[in-house]
Amino acid sequence: MDIIRIILAIILPPVGVFLQVGLGLHFWVNILLTILGYIPGIVHAIWIIARR
């Protein structure tokens, strides 16, 4: 299941984070990072998925 989350994190970073943690703080931080820059959103999403 982590492979699917990582693939989704590369395509749409907030979706990967949402599948991992739900509508928590990390989800909103990831949306902000994705708006500010696509790459920071991807890095944050993969970090969240790999950490748990």
Q: How high is the pLDDT of residue 20?
A: 93
Backbone angles phi, psi at 28, to 5 degrees: -70, -35
Q: In this predicted model, what pLDDT tens digit does every residue of 1-52 receive, in sequence order?
A: 789 989 999 999 999 999 999 999 999 999 999 999 999 999 999 999 999 7
Q: How high is the pLDDT of residue 37?
A: 92
- Residues in CB range of 23: below 8 A, 6 or more apart: none
Q: How high is the pLDDT of residue 52?
A: 79
Q: How high is the pLDDT of residue 2?
A: 80
pTM of the model: 0.89
